[in-house]
Amino acid sequence: MKTMRTIFTVTFILCLVFSFGILYAGGEKKGPAEGEAPKDEIVIGYAPSVYDATDYFGQFDNALREELEKAGISFKVKGRAPLQEADFAAHAEIVEDFITLGVDYIIFGPIDPKTVVPAIKSANEADIPIMIINHLNSLPEDAGVEILSFFGYSHKTGGITTGEYIVENLLNPGDEAAILYGQPGTLPSDERGFPVRDAMKNAGINVVYEHYAEWQREKAYDTTERILTAFPNVKLIYGCNSSMAMGAAEAIASHGLTDEIHVVGFGCVSAEIDMIWEGLITAAIFRDAQSNGRQAADAIMRHMQGKEVPERYELDMIMVGGREDILNYIPVVQLQLTENWPEMEEEL
């Protein structure tokens, strides 16, 4: 297994490079009336909250571009992400910059859409269609904004599914568990974490520690070190995203406790799939980000042609708990990004 320092360095470089704006081939904007000729080239402003080629946002991006290329659409994608995932102000500024640049479409992946409503309103005022990814409709009814379409899944459903899996398969009444949340007060953190907490408490499991590790792998690692010292009988740590689950798993492994403590995550990015395959993480929710990317391309092409665009494109979520689930439920194109792909390929 790679060292934490190597993994953090690679991830930081990927995020830093993306934050300066990468130009890709592919794109699109406000659609013409049906029958009217589309633009020669469309420009898409892509603003995820964080970027790594192997995570949800990176895989979404890859599939979006592949689908547009397949359709023969001439496009460019201008991609930028804030250096800090939870920097809502910087994220909103990226959208404002795209508006100034006059892009044709904006694909926006905020941590919590309600924190960036003014930026969405600015896009509406500029008559630039905006799409929200990694969420279904999670805006308040009185937000007063127009979204071309939502792409994602229910974080709450994922939390409920995870809680049920833990209670039914991993822990018994009286066992001790800990939870690592994301950013305080944000929708994904609350909806992924609180249902798990409630399910465990209702099953008689003692949730002995809860902490906001702010989605970060390093903070999760440090927090897990403290948990292991303060609560030596803990049987499970749940991280509300892949990064926190991986940080917790690495801390547990450094103490030689992998066989004694379950780690459950949320997301199944490539590195997390590797850790499930290797037995370092017990289970995690899988979201097929590439499907969302293809769906976004469909929405753009529909809009270009003046056709109706669905209000939302929803992903199914699957609990992946071990090698058999990895091989049965995760698409090959995703498995090919993992370090253990050669071994997986032999077993398919």
Residue with the bigger pLDDT between 11 and 232: it is 232
Q: Which of 164, 175, 155, 226 is nearest to 198 (CA)?
A: 164
In 3-state terms, the chain is what percent helix, strand and coil (to 5)? 45, 20, 35
Paired sense of beta strands 312-314 and 149-152, if any: parallel
**Residues 170 and 236: beta-carbon distance below 8 Å:** yes
Alpha carbon distances (Å) from 82 to 21, 110, 111, 117, 296 = 11, 10, 11, 17, 22
| pLDDT score of 325 more than 80 | yes
| pLDDT score of 10 more than 90 | no
The domain locations on the chain are: 4-152+289-315, 155-287+319-347
Mean pLDDT of all residues in 37-55: 85
| pLDDT score of 22 more than 70 | no
At 9 the pLDDT is 38
Cβ neighbours of 167 (radius 10 Å):
18
Q: Rounded to the nearest 5 degrees, what angle is found at the Cα of 155, between the Cα atoms of 121 and 177? A: 135
Position 285: which residue type? I
Rg of the chain in Å (alpha carbons) = 20
At 53 the pLDDT is 81
Q: 8: pLDDT confidence band, cut at 50, 70 and 90?
A: very low
Q: 164: pLDDT confidence band, cut at 50, 70 and 90?
A: very high
Burial annotation 215-233 (CB, 10 A radius, 16+ → b, else e)? bbbebbbebbbebbeebee
List beta partners, residue 319.
Answer: 285
Of all residues in the chain, what percent carry a pLDDT higher than 70? 89
| pLDDT score of 249 more than 60 | yes
Residue with the bigger pLDDT between 138 and 36: it is 138
Extract the tokens encoding 155: 């974080």
Extract the tokens encoding 302: 């529909």
| pLDDT score of 136 more than 60 | yes
Mean pLDDT of all residues in 251-278: 97
Of all residues in the chain, what percent carry a pLDDT higher than 90? 80
The count of residues in the chain is 348
**Residues 181 and 213: beta-carbon distance below 8 Å:** yes
Position 166: which residue type? I
Mean pLDDT of all residues in 219-228: 98
Q: 328 CB contacts (<8 Å, ≥6 apart)? A: none
Extract the tokens encoding 3: 């060292």
At 38 the pLDDT is 55
The reply to whether 155-287+319-347 shares the fold of 4-152+289-315 is yes
At 40 the pLDDT is 80
Mean pLDDT of all residues in 262-270: 96
At 23 the pLDDT is 38
Mean pLDDT of all residues in 221-236: 98
List beta partners, residue 264.
Answer: 238, 283
Extract the tokens encoding 334: 């995703």
Q: 165: pLDDT confidence band, cut at 50, 70 and 90?
A: very high
Extract the tokens encoding 310: 């669905």
Structure confidence by residue, pLDDT tens digits, 83-109: 887 788 999 999 999 999 999 999 999
Mean pLDDT of all residues in 154-168: 97
Task: Using the structure block, give the residue that is written with the tokens 């689930």.
Answer: 325
At 39 the pLDDT is 63
d(CA 40, CA 52): 30
Per-chain mean pLDDT for the chain:
89
| pLDDT score of 220 more than 50 | yes
pTM comes to 0.85
What is the three-class DSSP state of 295? Answer: helix
4-152+289-315: CATH class: alpha beta
H, E, C per residue of 6-52: HHHHHHHHHHHHHHCCEEEECCCCCCCCCCCCCCCCEEEEEEECCCC
Structure confidence by residue, pLDDT tens digits, 188-208: 999 999 999 999 999 999 999
Alpha carbon distances (Å) from 102 to 21, 74, 138, 155 = 15, 17, 26, 32
d(CA 281, CA 277): 8
Q: Which of 244, 165, 256 is nearest to 212 (CA)?
A: 244
| CATH classification for the domain delimited by 155-287+319-347, as one of 3.40.50.360, 3.40.50.300, 3.40.50.2300, 3.40.640.10 | 3.40.50.2300
At 219 the pLDDT is 97
d(CA 253, CA 260): 10
Structure confidence by residue, pLDDT tens digits, 286-302: 999 999 999 999 999 99
**Residues 249 and 280: beta-carbon distance below 8 Å:** yes
